[in-house]
Amino acid sequence: MRRRRCIRGFTLIEAIVSTIVLAIGGVAAMLAISACTRSVGVAGDYSKAALLAEKRIAELSLQTGSLNSGEQQGDFGDEYPGFAWIQTVEPTDYAGVSRITLVVTWPLGVRQGRAVFVTLLREKPSA
């Protein structure tokens, strides 16, 4: 009669396969973390662009009596380097109401981030 040996532990093939599965899982986890980090940065830039657009539109609303139709551009100063704006003021069919299109741009890696905001502003009635 043959005696069966009791074999304990892993075979070499099982160890190799488990190492490969672990390596693939680790690489996938690192790629997921990298993508999430990049997404958080991009979302932060879009939030900053929205806040800067709100600030620019608030400045425009204070000077509604002197809004000139046409296009202007500028930046947000040293406090927000790389962020710039282009605004277009157009008259509408309604008296005293202007359509403001504000484009905020910023560097986003090798390309340029861009957010477009459109609003209507009513001139303040003269006292």
Largest distance between two CA atoms of the chain: 114
Give 9 or 85, the one with higher predicted confidence. 85
Domain containing residue 100: CATH number: 3.30.1300.30
Domain-located, residue 91: yes
Count of domains observed in the chain: 1
pLDDT band at residue 69 under the 50/70/90 scheme: confident
pTM: 0.72
Domain-located, residue 33: yes
Domain-located, residue 127: no
Angle ∠(57,110,85) on CA atoms, nearest 5: 15
Domain-located, residue 2: no
pLDDT the model gives residue 127 = 56
What is the per-residue pLDDT across 108-117, written as a single tens digit (0 to 9) for each?
888 999 999 9
pLDDT the model gives residue 96 = 82
What is the per-residue pLDDT across 36-52, written as a single tens digit (0 to 9) for each?
998 898 899 999 999 99
Nearest partner of 103 among 112, 113, 90, 116, judged by Cα: 116
Q: Which domain holds residue 25?
A: 12-122
